[in-house]
Structures are given as C-alpha cells and as structure tokens.
Amino acid sequence: MRRLAFLRWLITLAGVSMAPSLYADNLTALPFQKVHIKDDFWSKRIRTNRTATIEANLHQCEITGRIRNFAIAGKLEEGKHKGLLFDDSDVYKVLEGIAYALSSQRDPELEKRADAIIDKIAAAQQPDGYLNTYFTLVKPQERWKDIRFGHELYCAGHLIEAAVAYQQATGKRKLLDVAIKLADHIDRTFGPDKKVDTSGHEEIELALIKLYRATKEKRYLKLAQFFLDVRGRKDKRKLFGEYAQDHKPVRQQSEVVGHAVRAMYLYCGMADMAAITGDKELRTALEKIWGDVVQRKMYVTGGIGPSASNEGFTVPYDLPNDSAYCETCAAIGMALWNHRMFLMSGDGKYADVLEREVYNGLLSGVSLSGDRFFYVNPLASRGQHHRVPWFGCSCCPTNIVRYIPGMGERVYAYRDNDIWTVLYMSGTATIPLKDGKVKLTQQTNYPWDGKIKIKAEPEKPFSFNLHLRIPAWCQSWRVTANGSMDFDKSLGMLVLHRRPEKGGHEIELELDMPVERVYADPRVKADVGRVALQRGPIVYCLEGVDNGGSVRNLCLPKEAKLTAKFDKDLLGGVVTIQGEALAVAREGEKLATKPIAFRAVPYFAWDNRAPGQMIVWLAETPECAELPGEEGLVVKGVRIRASHLNPTDTLETLNDGERPKSSKDHDIRRMTWWDHRGTVEWLSYRTAKPRKLSGAQVYWFDDTGLGACRVPAEWRLLWLDGNEWKPVKLLKGEHYGTELDQFNKVSFEPVTTRELRLEVKLQPNYSGGVLKWRVTEAK
C-alpha cells in the first residue's frame, strides 16, 4: 500500500515537465449548458442549489438590505445604506448563480425576480457609469480614494461576471450594458496616464478578461493587463504589501502569500491573461506559485489559508487542524484557478487538485439541505463549529450559489480533434471538434465507484483522440476499448486513438478505490503520528454522532483492517469506512486501550446531524490521542494546553524552533488569551513520561498600535509534583522578564515532572499572548 496519493505530489511534483506556454496549446472547456448531468451526486446538488441555496441567499440579501441599497442609491426608495462596503458583490454573485440555473432550465418566476433586481441595479448607476451603493450613499466624496480596502474594483468585477452570465443565459442585455458602462468608467479612470493603481482585492482582472471575451473589446483586455502589470511595481505606486500579493511584480512572484481569496482571484486573472497572450513569464510564475501552494501549504481536504488573522497563508507546512481557517471562498478560488491551469496545459495534476477541492474542502461549505453554510472549514472540532444561514460578511454562501450550478463546465475540454475528461460524472454532451461533432454518453456512480463507461458517437467517420484522466490517487486501473492507446504518465492521461474504420466506440475504465491511509509530510507538525483516510477522491472524518460521542481519544493502529460500505440512507447516500480503532483512556500513570468499532463519513458531509466532535487526522498511537480531561494539542509527544485560546489562534507552533521577527510578528502563528483581559491565565507542556527540566524561554506577543495584546504584568513557572502545582525556584540573579522582541530566558533549580506550566497575570484591560515558548532539559 502506498504511503499516500495526496502527498505523492510533495515528493514528485518538482520533476514533472510542463508543456510550453503557447496560446495555441489552450484547451477549451465545454460550456456547462452543453453538458447534461444525470448522475445522482451532482444533479442532486444542482437541484438543491436551485431550490434551496438560491432562495436562501435571495432571502438574506432582501432582509439585510443589500438589494434595497440599490433602490435607495437609484432614488427609487428613501433610506440609508445598510451593511458593509462590499455587500453589493453578494447580490451580483447571487445573480450570477441565478443565470447559471436559468441556463440549464428556464424559470419565468425566478427570471422575473432577477430582472426586478437588475432594474434596481441599473437605477443605482451614476451618469458617469460609476456604480457602488456604499460610496454613492455613505462616502460620495471618496470614490476611488481607498483602492486598498475600498473594494470598489472587487464589486465591479463581480457585477461584470454576473452581467456576462445573465446575458448568455437569457439573451437580455440590461445588466451587461450596466457592466459595460461601469467598465468604460473604470477604463477612463485607471491607466498609464491616469490613476496608476491596482485592485486591493483582486477580481476585476479576471472579470475584465471575461468581458473582453464576451464583447471582443480589446480595451478591457488592456485594462486587465494594466492592473496586473502595475501590481508590485514600487516605482509606479505605493504598494499594498504581501496581504494583497502586492509586494513584487506578478512575474517575479514564486510563493503564495497573504489573503487566500485575493491570491486565488489574482492567479485566475494571471492564468487567463497567459492563456490569451501566451505570456511565458506569467505562466512560469504561476507554475512556481502552484508548486508552493500544493506542496507546502494545502490541506488534505484541499483547504488553503490556515490563519484567521490574515484569512490566508503563513509559513510552509503550517497546517493546524482545529484552528484551520480554510475559507470556503478560498477553496472555490483554488478550484477556479486549477481548472484554468488545466485548460492551459492539459496536465492532469491540475484537474486532480480541482477534484480534491470540489469533493472535499469546497463542498463542505454548504449543508446537504443547501441553506446553511461554513465560512471556515477546520479539520477538527470539539463540537462548537456549525454551519449557519448567513454571515455579516457573506461572501462564502453567495460564492457557493454561483459555483455549484456550473459544475458541467468542469467535465470535458477539447482542442482540434482531441477530447479531455476533467471530472467524471454521468451525463451526455456533444463536443464540437475540428472535423466533426462527437456525442459522449458517460455512465458512472463516481465518486463512490470507480467504474466509468463512456460511449463516443461521432456524427460521421473521422479520427479523434480521447484523453482519460487517471487521478493521482489511483494506483491501479483497467481499461477496455478497441483501437490503440498510450498512457502519458507525466500528464496523468490515458490517450485513446479512435479511428474512423473502428466501429463501436465504447470505453470501460475502472479506477480501483481501496481505502487509503494518508500521511502528511513530517514537517507538518500538527499531523505527526497521525493518519487520514481517503477513498477515491473523498477524504473522510470521524464524527462523534457515529462513534459514541467521542472521536478525539481514538487511535487507529497501522494494522487495523478497513472496509468501505455504501449506505443509501445515510447523509443522502454515501460510502462509509468502517474498522476497529482503540479508545484510549488513562489509568493512573499508564494509558489503557480498548478495541472499539468506528465509522468514518465523507468530510464534506460532517455537521449535518447532531453536533459533536469531528476529526480528520486520527492518532496512530495511544500517546497522540487526546484523552478526556486532558484536552490540548499533541505535538511531537508533548501535549500543549491553555486556560483559554482564541479560536483563531493555535498552540501548534509554540515550540517549532522558529524565531519571530518581533513581538508583533503577524506573519507567523501565535497563541493569545484573547478576549480575556486582566485575568490570570496559563499554558502548559505535558509529556507521557517525567522529564528533568532546568530552564525556559518565552517570546511574548505584543501588538501595541494594532490591537489589545500586551506583555503580562507578571508571570511565573510552576511544575506538577504529583497532584500539586509548585513554583520553580529561580537561580540566583534570574528574574521573569517581559522584554519585547526577544526571548526572555530563566534558569531554575532542576525539577522532574510530567508537566510544566507558564502562568501569567494579564495587565488590567489588556489581553496577552505568546509567540514561542521553549523549555530546557537538565543535562
């Protein structure tokens, strides 16, 4: 059994060769309107999106005032603006989702509601083409003055995307004309001899390219090029920094940094531009960034962006589980980007990431009922994390609305007389090749079953090639087909050569789907000693509701036998993984284990039943399990606990060997006791066996000028002697320091203990935190 499919990328990716970046190499995605999905998995979710998700989001946009803001800005109603400065974008994304739904099935009532909203949007547009309800109603004198955080270009981008989609779906131009008028206004405002700046939250770039493709107006392509080219150019403008990927020119960037959603939208725009222009430097930069994301900064679920503080990326291999941010929008952005990368190259590794996203970290963002949503998608929970109907900032629910109905676009791609399979799902489609059309009929129960039948029916005799993707997770497969075939291992594609004289173009592909044990790169400290389960493209988790209420105290020995079983009555019909784990408990000073049957369910489906614990990465040994009453994080055999932990912080990196740049270093993960103020708090390190300790070093977190965390008023160290906490005895001349921007070191008389505690008294009215805490074992 292989070590893992997922992290096979971490080992082999650097050696994979790429096709040259030429415009002629691009594949064309078959529009989703041309793909008639008939499989149970996706057709069910597309129906739910139409009947529940769109309705839920429309309702929320109405009751929160988002739609009324347009009526007020258009002087159709009186009132004041409600909500955040970027709320217009939520309405646009819902309209885009409605457009995709109407493309598949016209609905007069839904279309009438959308047209009414569009009338209000058109009324809100200013005579010069400007359109943004917040700045029109709240800060009219500050239009285009806060490009970094104002989100005007971001909202404009989502309007453009909605407008193009709605015109293509209905043939109606009203919203498209509004978008064109706004784009023309932006083109008059920004440019080399005008306002030289770029978007603070990327989106306008990819949208302008979409508008160019729809209208053939080259000004929009040139404007998108301008926004890309001035990013990171400190000789042209004041930069926004890494948070907005504005620290270097885009062609010089090689690592993903900053806000995850911003990054993904930027890379989509770069990929679109590279596809159109054949810009090799853009392509090279994207390939380097992609390697950094996938090899060092992506979760097994496809989730990206571990940190809540910047809603994005930190350092390589920083992938905590309980505090994982993994915004749903970021997963959607990752899927959009990887689809574009696949279309530029035909390389199956990009489709593999796309598949990982849509079946795991993206799909988890919406409930099975379609009307409750995750903003954050952690890989472990103690039972407090749940989907909700709406958020104050509701970018994620409205992004789900527009992504799900377009799934058909990710099924096939084509070029000349070649067809590529991207994602497998039952349905029919007709592909317009160079020498004729080919009707494809696909039958499969994917992702639960790896058997795929494809019938290819050309409208006339001619030669064509069918490229079948062999996913990276699949280690053995079989194909039955007439004619010749080749397997391109570097691209993960099985190429079937169909000749006109060969009749009966029927193909049967079987991808073996055993249950796989997945192991993280050892540099991912949160997952050392742990294992995840995957079958086919689906990543699994254990929920308390299936396993007696507790799953964090379980360990899964390496020799445990695992079986897969389809349960039609569970979670809408899913394959579960079953086996025998060990429940771990403490008996005195020793760990005791008891065999217990367990059931794992697909990660995307968790939190759809009774609330409770959830975990993706299971302990493989009793020492790594979390015991009842001994909650905390186990890192390299050390259990780290805290009296309180801000939900968006982590204990994982406290003793990772890294050195902060300063006490207000926001580029690394930290622990804080926020929002406790002026209280007595603590941290502790506990080991399975006693250790002899003689010193400690603490690097305090202090964000003076930015937040309310300060160094503590005082602190001390205590050691556990039996069941009694005792203060350590400092050596002569030692004291408990609270200096900033350095480690505060203390030495004490050696103690032999299983647990050392750092106790602080926070300053009145302030909270506090720790960046690093090291302990010294006595020689």
H/E/C letters for each residue in 632-665? CEEECCEEEEECCCCCCCCCCCCCCCCCCCCCCC
H/E/C letters for each residue in 336-368? HHHHHHHHHHCCHHHHHHHHHHHHHHCHHHECC
| Token pair listed for 718 | 């205590």
- Asked if residue 418 lies in contact with residue 465, where contact means CB atoms within 8 angstroms, the answer is yes
Residue 371 CA to residue 362 CA, distance in Å, equals 15
Active site residue 152: no
Sequence letter at residue 95 = L
268: nearest Cα among 290, 246, 248: 290
Half-sphere exposure of 135 (CA within 13 A, CB side): 20
The DSSP 8-state label assigned to residue 570 in this structure reads: S
| Token pair listed for 98 | 């409605």
Which of the following is catalytic: 61, 329, 395, 541? 395
Which of the following is catalytic: 203, 311, 327, 355? 311
Burial readout 559-579 (b: 16 or more C-beta within 10 A, e: otherwise): ebebebeeeeebebebbbbbb
| Token pair listed for 569 | 């009555």
- Asked if residue 371 lies in contact with residue 389, where contact means CB atoms within 8 angstroms, the answer is yes
Active site residue 311: yes
Residue 309 CA to residue 555 CA, distance in Å, equals 32
Quick one: 184 exposed, middle or buried, by C-beta within 10 A (0-12, 13-18, 19+)?
A: middle
- DSSP string of 251-290, one letter each residue: GG--S--SBHHHHHHHHHHHHHHHHHH--HHHHHHHHHHH
Q: Hey, which residues does 497 pair with through a beta bridge?
A: 465, 484
| Token pair listed for 689 | 């066996």
| Token pair listed for 80 | 């004041």
Site of tokens 């030669």? 463
- DSSP string of 721-735, one letter each residue: ETTEEEE--BPTT--
Burial readout 655-676 (b: 16 or more C-beta within 10 A, e: otherwise): bbeeebeebbbbbbbbbbbbeb
Could you tell me which residues come within 8 angstroms of residue 216 by beta carbon, excluding any fewer than 6 positions away? none
Sequence letter at residue 154 = Y
Residue 513 CA to residue 475 CA, distance in Å, equals 9
Q: How many CB atoms lie within 10 A of CB 464?
A: 23
How distant, in Å, are the alpha carbons of 28, 264, 266, 367, 654 from that of 288?
A: 24, 14, 14, 35, 29
Q: Hey, which residues does 402 pair with through a beta bridge?
A: none
Residue 321 CA to residue 299 CA, distance in Å, equals 9
Q: How many CB atoms lie within 10 A of CB 380?
A: 22
How distant, in Å, are the alpha carbons of 255, 309, 559, 735 from that of 659?
A: 20, 19, 39, 22
Catalytic residues: 311, 395
